[in-house]
């Protein structure tokens, strides 16, 4: 039994290592997606990657800005996500913008596929991260925002920041 499970003391080195391995390590975020779209529903999916892609992701070399999800013949594909070439890679290096297969349950594909074909809807990646050593992507069914929606969101965020700043000054001053 470990020290932690006996009710006292600090966690052992093995427990700390397991907790660290299970922690969510974010590689890339798509902040632009939350600005450009109303997020309706999110789903976590695995990604089929080549060896040099995994190494490049562990080095934090990815961009989700132009990414989107395509549904083709009952499969989901991640398109236009840029994973830079691995610096120490050789001729086996990957193409930075190749299409990558998403590992999803059939019912998730059957639900998101038709929903993404509706007018004004798309499926975009929000985050790319590692959990327990496995690469995952958080994808979202999203509706496009109009210009006035984007301005409204920025205004709300700015008002919220000003209110927090005023409360902070009042509490500390």
From CA 146, how far away is CA 24, in angstroms rounded?
33
- What is the pLDDT averaged over residues 66-92? 80
- What is the pLDDT averaged over residues 76-104? 77
Please state the domain count of the chain.
Answer: 1
* pLDDT value at residue 32: 82
In a domain, 151, yes or no: no
In a domain, 100, yes or no: yes
- What is the pLDDT averaged over residues 89-102? 73
* Burial grade of 64 (CB within 10 A; 0-12, 13-18, 19 or more): buried
Task: Judge whether residue 2 has pLDDT over 50.
Answer: no
What domain range includes position 88?
Answer: 23-145
In a domain, 80, yes or no: yes
In a domain, 1, yes or no: no
In a domain, 35, yes or no: yes
Q: What CATH number is associated with residue 92?
A: 2.40.280.10
* pLDDT value at residue 94: 65
Are 78 and 125 within 8 A, CB to CB? yes
In a domain, 85, yes or no: yes
* pLDDT value at residue 105: 92
Lowest model confidence (mean pLDDT) among 9-13, 28-32, 113-117, 166-170? 9-13
- What is the pLDDT averaged over residues 115-133? 85
Residues 84, 108, 70: CA angle, nearest 5 degrees: 45
In a domain, 109, yes or no: yes
* pLDDT value at residue 1: 47
In a domain, 75, yes or no: yes
């Amino acid at each position: 039994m470990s020290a932690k499970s006996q009710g006292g003391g600090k966690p052992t080195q093995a427990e700390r290592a397991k907790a660290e391995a299970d922690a969510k390590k974010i590689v890339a975020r798509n902040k632009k997606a939350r600005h450009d779209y109303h997020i309706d529903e999110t789903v976590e999916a695995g990604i089929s990657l080549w060896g040099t892609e995994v190494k490049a992701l562990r080095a934090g070399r990815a961009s989700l800005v132009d990414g989107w999800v395509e549904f083709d013949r009952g499969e989901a594909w991640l398109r236009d996500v840029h994973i830079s070439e691995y610096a120490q890679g050789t001729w086996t290096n990957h193409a930075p913008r190749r299409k990558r297969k998403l590992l999803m349950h059939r019912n998730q594909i059957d639900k998101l596929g038709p929903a993404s074909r509706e007018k004004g809807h798309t499926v975009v990646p929000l985050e790319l991260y590692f959990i327990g050593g496995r690469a995952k992507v958080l994808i979202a069914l999203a509706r496009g925002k109009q210009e006035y929606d984007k301005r409204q969101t920025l205004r709300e965020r700015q008002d919220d920041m000003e209110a927090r700043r005023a409360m902070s000054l009042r509490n500390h001053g």
